[in-house]
Amino acid sequence: MLKRLRVLFVAVVVLAALLAAAAPALAVQRPTKVMIVVMDQMQPGYAKQFNMSNVLWLQNKGVTFPNAWVGDMASETVVSHNVMVSGLFPKHMGWSDEAIRDVHNILGYGTDAIVTTGDLGYADYVKLIENMDYPKLGDYLHEKFPGTVVANVGQKGYQVESMAASSSDYWVRMGSKKNTKDLADPSVVPWTGKYRGPSGNLPDYIKSDTRFLISSGNAGDTYETTLTAPSWMYPEDGRYVPGPVADHTSGDNWVADAALKIMDNEDWSGLWVTFSAIDKIGHLWGGGAVDTLANYKWDPNTILNEVHMPWAAKNADDQLGKLIAKLKEKGQFNDTLIVVCADHGSTYGRGDGFKGANELNGGDVNWYAGSWLPGYGTDPKVPNTSAGSPALKPLMDTGKVEFSYQSTAIETWLKADTSSGEMRDVAAVMETLPGVIATYIRNGDRYKLYSYSTTMTPDEKMWWTATGQQIVNTMCFSGSADIVGLLADKTTYGVFGDHGGAQADVQRIPMAFYMPGVKHLVSGQPMRLVDIMPTILKTMGIPAKTLTDPMDGSAFSIKLPK
């Protein structure tokens, strides 16, 4: 009897297995929309430090990568935003830094002209992208979901337009300052003086909405940031702080409201939203580690609270909450993959670590030295020139420098006729500049290490040994800097709080993916910005064209609901 029962049990198990094998597999519920929310300059610790409850909720429910990092240079907004939606290292996307040498005169300023990429517009970025001939995430979405809209929203022109270029239908950003008296009806704003309105490729429902006119460039729009160090080097002008004008709020609130308008009016498949207040406030005061009442005395009961990190970070999180609420209201929450990340981290000049000129608008002096285009006069082909900050004088005195950009690294372009021997001479000067820990010379599509400092701390040495060479190589192409100097931790040349280089603080970023039902995972994998696009494509079930359009990034697994 017992033997017969065992045989019967085995038969039942085998039959169940056969039936299971024959049954169709449950389909994975794939998202049909993707929303990328970029918290510009956000450090990984900010979510807990400033109780960013929406970010924390997404991290605790979705797939989060606590070891995420930028993974390339230059770690700048105008570079990183396009990396996210191209899946390419900067060296392969047409520009890799705040400046490039336009070797083939793609932009029309002349062969070998030094061009600052943050001063370019949408059409310029399209030229650079088309020259490299690669698709972006928006192209894939248009092909997969014909007739849907891909849109970008943010405060900064170069931030939005570089990300949108060649693949977005709408891009919405803040325009340049204008006079309120020149408005067709000046009564639509409750102030006189300067204002900004929306710019880019605008849908009519945003273009015609006076809500998107903000006060910017007036005396009250500086929030006392012009009065003292360190904020006076890169003061607020009304773009990043919501401000006191009812129905015309600025900053991240402006960005969120524009995104909500798009969500209400469009059948969209991709929406890239960048909140920039954290970045601006980080540049002003040095970031969350030092932006405290103990270091800077401000009254939290006044509007001055808005220009400090505790308020700015929480407000950015509140705007993310508005986007999530809109997804739920529209019945789109279950169909949307939400990606929350930063474009770079940040550091600050601890002790004597700030090496620039500490003066009003000193950032413009400190970041740029030499000669570059486009010009700001009536003729954009007349170059800008600057001697740079005093800290760069030994480098500029070599007479071999055409342009240099410095932030938390120093990137220097030499005059076109500079010989290899003279390049080594300039590198020898670069290594003596304060804070430089490693110096590289461009050699084809790679950088060759010229020298490194024996005074690195153990932590600096460990990070640099593991990452330094691979990071600088990601930016190396014919138009990138000839000489690169990596800087020590807590060292900045541009403004007190800055980014751009290869330090761990500048490279570390938050990264989380979420959609309802996704299997929660805290992954120890070191995901990079270049991995975002292939991961999105894999999650949405969109085959990447790896043979015709190879990406530098890798696709990570996000376990979706069934």
Pair 120, 249: CB distance under 8 Å: no
Helix (H, G, I), strand (E, B) or coil at 431: coil
Question: Is 488 part of a structural domain of the chain?
Answer: yes
Do 240 and 366 share a domain, yes or no?
no
Span 247-262, pLDDT tens digits: 999 999 999 999 999 9
Number of domains in the chain: 2
Question: Is 477 part of a structural domain of the chain?
Answer: yes
DSSP 89-143: -GGGTS--SSEEEETT-SSSS-TTEEEEGGG--HHHHHHHHHHHT---HHHHHHH
Span 40-58, pLDDT tens digits: 999 999 999 999 999 999 9
**Tell me, what DSSP letter sits at residue 531?**
G
Give the Cα separation of 87 and 539 in Å (integer): 15
Output the average pLDDT for the chain.
94
Is it the case that residue 2 has pLDDT exceeding 80? no
Question: Is 112 part of a structural domain of the chain?
Answer: no
Task: Report the pLDDT averaged over residues 358-380.
Answer: 93
Task: Report the pLDDT averaged over residues 370-385.
Answer: 91
Q: Which of 498, 517, 544 is the C-terminal boundary of a domain?
A: 498
- Residue 297's pLDDT is 94
pLDDT level of residue 8 (50, 70, 90 thresholds): very low
Backbone phi, psi, residue 111, to 5°: -60, 130
- Residue 3's pLDDT is 40
Span 194-213, pLDDT tens digits: 999 999 999 999 999 999 99
Question: Is 559 part of a structural domain of the chain?
Answer: no
pLDDT level of residue 289 (50, 70, 90 thresholds): very high
At 55, which amino acid appears?
V
Question: Is 391 part of a structural domain of the chain?
Answer: yes
pLDDT level of residue 22 (50, 70, 90 thresholds): very low
pTM for the whole structure? 0.94
pLDDT level of residue 26 (50, 70, 90 thresholds): low
Pair 336, 286: CB distance under 8 Å: no
Give the Cα separation of 411 and 500 in Å (integer): 10
Element (H, E) at 539: helix 532-540
Helix (H, G, I), strand (E, B) or coil at 73: coil
Q: Which of 218, 250, 266 is the C-terminal boundary of a domain?
A: 266
- Residue 25's pLDDT is 54
Task: Report the pLDDT averaged over residues 127-133.
Answer: 98
* CA dihedral for 317, 513, 544, 76, sign (positive or negative): positive
Task: Report the pLDDT averaged over residues 226-231.
Answer: 97
Question: Is 122 part of a structural domain of the chain?
Answer: no
Residue bearing tokens 């088309």? 130
Nearest to 229 by CA among 358, 419, 377, 356: 358
Q: Which of 212, 242, 266 is the C-terminal boundary of a domain?
A: 266
What proportion of the chain, given as a percentage, has pLDDT over 70?
Answer: 95
pLDDT level of residue 27 (50, 70, 90 thresholds): confident
What proportion of the chain, given as a percentage, has pLDDT over 90?
Answer: 92
Question: Is 10 part of a structural domain of the chain?
Answer: no
Burial of 438 (0-12, 13-18, 19+ CB in 10 A): buried
Span 99-120, pLDDT tens digits: 999 999 999 999 999 999 999 9
Is it the case that residue 13 has pLDDT exceeding 60? no
CA-based end-to-end distance of the chain: 42
Question: Is 493 part of a structural domain of the chain?
Answer: yes
Where in the sequence is the domain holding 388, given as residue range(s)?
362-498
